[in-house]
Structure formats: C-alpha cells, structure tokens
Amino acid sequence: MKAMTRRRERLGSLDCQVIDSGPRPALAVVLCHGFGAPGDDLVSLAEAIVGELAQAATPVRFVFPAALLQPLELAPYGGRAWWNINMAALLAASESKSFAQLHDAVPPGIDLAADALIACVDATLEQLAANADGAEPRYFLGGFSQGAMLTTHVALSGRVPAPETLIQLSGTLICRATWQAALEAGRLAETDVIQSHGTIDPILPFSSAEVLRQMVQPHCRQHTFIPFHGPHTIPMQSLTAIASQL
C-alpha cells in the first residue's frame, strides 16, 4: 500500500478532505457525499481505490468536499446536504413507484450547490496544473446518491472541463429536460461513465437508475453499468471499476 497524506483544505467555498496517494499528483478524483452524511463520509474510499492500483500507478489526489448545508435535523449527527430533501416524500414516491415527477424536478438549491462545487473543481484543477508539466490536469468527478446527482448536473453544465470519468454511485435522474439537452449537445461525448445501483435499493429505486442509464449511455464515450444485489450503498465492484480507469 502506498503511503498517503491527508489534510483539510478549503477549495472555493467548500471545506474538503484532501488525500494524495503520492507526490505531485496530476490526476484528481472529486467525490461528493450523499444527503445526511458527514462531509468526510466517503474518505475511506480513497484507501480502497488505491488498494486496487498497481504500485507504479500515477499518483492521485482525492478530494472529498463537505456540502454547504447542515439542516437542523441533521446537525446532531454531523449530517450535511447539498440541498434540502423531503425524505418522507421521497420514500413515499419510492414505495408507490411514482418517480416520474422526481425525474423532471429541478430541486431548489441545486444551482447554489453547483456553483460551490464548480469553484471547488476549478481550485483543484488550478492546483494540479502545477504538477502536470504543461499538460491539462486529468480529473474524475462523481459521488454517492445526492452527490451523484449534483456531480452529474455539474458535469453537464458546461461550466467545468468535461471530466475524464463521471462516477454515479446510487444516483438517479433529476432535471430531465436540462440533462437531456446537455447530453444531446455532446457534453459527455469525451467522458466515460461508471454507474452502479442496488437492485433492492429502498430509497432510489433501481428502475430509476435504468432510466438514467438509458438516457446517458448513447451520449458518453463509454458506459459501465454495475447492477448489484444490495440496498442504497457502494459495492466493491464500483471501486474496482474506478481504479481500472485511473
């Protein structure tokens, strides 16, 4: 296992956990946590992914931003949110299999969250440029659950360079009209997509993940879909797939 360094750093307006797998990384992996999780919820993924890499692999910088919001009901547990979600309504929609309205919705607060994440990505790429020896720094962008929705929204916005790989871990389709137009405009034409989703996910149903896959797959460079028998979580297969792209 490579020796990794970890620090806390403010990138744009977001407090981030930053982990380097080696010196002078010119490749970043930016991963955003889900609704209700603490800002460092996904930090353990860095070690798991690096454990899948060859010893001579290119050094990687992992960036784990903490969402701006900390709703009162989440504060006692350190939970944060990219935007507020009515979980009771979400679970009711999941149980009734009435997700079409969610797919079309533009959540209030998503644009503010996108602005913050875009500034974070810009700051990350600016730092890496010094290590890239004149080449464009490479980066992957993704997240889990609400973080997957946000990072997809940002990748499709055209306000950041297209990520080399977009990682959608137990996410779903929202902002359908905006995303469809951006896909048809070729925003992910040079991006690989890794998408995983549990077939018994009780929060964001597998059927919605399939709708997202069917929308994205024709418009990206390469699409890897990882269905797994499990709930709302991240399987090891997803981390192996990410490592294989690094």
- Can you tell me the distance from the alpha carbon of 93 to that of 100, in angstroms, rounded to the nearest whole number? 9
Q: What is the pLDDT of residue 91?
A: 66
> What is the strand order of the sheet 60-65 is part of?
5-11, 14-20, 60-65, 27-32, 138-144, 165-169, 192-198, 222-228
Quote the mean pLDDT of the chain.
91
Report pLDDT digits (tens) over 34-61: 999 999 999 999 999 998 886 657 899 9
Share of the chain above pLDDT 70, in %: 91
Confidence of residue 84 (pLDDT cuts 50, 70, 90): confident
Would you say residue 145 has pLDDT above 80? yes
Rounded mean pLDDT, 122-128: 95
Report pLDDT digits (tens) over 56-79: 578 999 999 999 987 767 767 778
What domains can you pick out in the chain, each with its CATH number?
5-245 (3.40.50.1820)
Contacts by 83-87 with C-beta closer than 8 Å and gap 24+?
83/107, 83/108, 83/109, 83/110, 83/112, 83/113, 83/146, 84/108, 84/109, 85/35, 85/146, 87/35, 87/36
Name the strand (E) or helix (H) holding 119.
Answer: helix 110-129
- Can you tell me the distance from the alpha carbon of 31 to that of 59, in angstroms, rounded to the nearest whole number? 17
More confident residue, 96 or 177: 177
Candidate ranges 70-79, 85-94, 160-169; pick with highest mean pLDDT: 160-169
0.85 cut: is pTM over it?
yes
Report pLDDT digits (tens) over 175-211: 999 999 999 999 999 999 999 999 999 889 999 999 9
SS3 content of the chain, % helix, strand, coil (to 5): 35, 20, 40
Rounded mean pLDDT, 112-119: 98
Would you say residue 1 has pLDDT above 60? no
Rounded mean pLDDT, 95-115: 84
